[in-house]
């Protein structure tokens, strides 16, 4: 047709279009590969502890001492620490781990978690024979913070009194509601007696702007607060 001419857009803008397409492809691949890392960094930047960031899988049984247990199809039970506890403490190391073949009773010491000499004792939510210990905890203890319910479990135990020992534990929505109450109770704990004993300005030590708890707040608090936390939240109640 007269008055019209054919223009190949790739003759004029080809490089720009290819660059944009390539950038989008790389961005998508990067996002898929690093999604977990990006999420971790966002949570780190936000830096506060609220009920909305707690992971509470609904099929697990939660004990008042902040351990969880789950009965697998094999008949053995996995045991670990809940997300509340790892958000309170931050990165820790493990000591006094049990060995495969040992017997343990509900309420007995499972392990100690340690952070620069500050320690918390963790007690077993069930009785039975220890089948295996999670070997990842020796070389990569940070797996507890990253994935406390899947890769970050502590022990696999063959339970001896499963029904009797778990019938009072929290499950599903009840576990979610309990975790929220525990956060409120912990906020009262740090802003009440313990923090007033060990800090002249407790709000600066534990709170972000807006009154939210800081994530991993025990990391910066003295051993005396860890001891009070042990007594209030982790020791077996009579």
In sequence order, what are the beta bridge partners of 129? 103, 158
Distance CA 213, CA 47 (A): 9
Q: Give the pLDDT confidence score for residue 9 in this predicted structure.
A: 47
No. of helices (H) and no. of strands (E), the chain: 11, 11
What distance in Å separates the CA atoms of residue 55 and residue 149, rounded to the nearest whole number? 9
> Secondary structure of the chain: what % helix, strand, coil (to 5)?
45, 20, 35
Query: Distance (Å, rounded) from C-alpha 7 to C-alpha 79?
Result: 67
What does the pLDDT profile of the chain (238 residues) look like in tens digits? Answer: 555 455 554 455 556 556 656 666 655 555 554 444 433 433 443 457 777 788 899 999 999 999 999 999 999 999 999 999 988 998 898 988 899 999 999 999 999 999 999 999 999 999 999 999 999 888 888 888 889 999 999 999 999 999 999 999 999 999 999 999 998 898 888 877 655 665 555 444 455 555 567 788 888 888 998 999 999 999 976 4
Query: How far apart (Å, rounded) are the C-alpha atoms in residues 225 and 190?
Result: 8
Cα three-residue angle 22-34-183, rounded to 5 degrees: 145
Looking at residue 142, its pLDDT comes to 86
What are residue 213's phi and psi, to 5 degrees? -65, 145
Structure tokens at 39: 């999420």
Which structural domains are found in the chain, ordered by start?
Answer: 1-238 (2.40.50.100)
pTM for the model stands at 0.74
pLDDT reported for residue 38: 36
**Residues 6+ away with beta carbon under 8 Å from 61:** 68, 69, 70, 125, 166, 169, 170, 171
- Rounded (10°) angle between helices 14-33 and 35-46: 70
The two three-digit tokens of residue 165, written as one number? 């020992």
């Amino acid at each position: 047709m007269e008055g019209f001419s054919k223009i190949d857009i790739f003759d004029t803008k080809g490089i720009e279009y290819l660059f944009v397409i390539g950038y989008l492809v790389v961005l998508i691949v990067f996002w898929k590969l690093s999604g977990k890392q990006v999420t971790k960094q966002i949570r780190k930047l936000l830096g506060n502890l609220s009920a909305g960031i707690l992971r509470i899988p609904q099929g697990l049984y939660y004990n008042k001492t902040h351990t969880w247990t789950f009965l697998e199809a094999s008949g053995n039970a996995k045991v670990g620490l809940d997300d509340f506890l790892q958000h309170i403490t931050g990165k820790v190391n493990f000591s006094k781990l049990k060995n495969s073949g040992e017997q343990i009773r509900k309420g007995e010491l499972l392990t100690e978690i340690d952070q620069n000499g500050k320690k918390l004792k963790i007690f077993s939510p069930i009785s039975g024979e220890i089948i295996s210990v999670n070997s990842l905890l020796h070389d990569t203890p940070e797996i507890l913070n990253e994935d406390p319910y899947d890769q970050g479990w502590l022990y696999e135990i063959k339970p001896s009194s499963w029904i009797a020992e778990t019938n009072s534990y929290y499950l599903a929505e009840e576990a979610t509601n309990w975790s929220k109450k525990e956060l409120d109770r912990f906020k009262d704990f740090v802003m009440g007696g313990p923090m007033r004993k060990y800090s002249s300005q407790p709000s600066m030590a534990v709170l972000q702007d807006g009154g939210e708890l800081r994530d991993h707040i025990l990391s910066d608090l003295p051993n005396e607060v860890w001891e009070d936390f042990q007594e209030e939240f982790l020791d077996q109640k009579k």
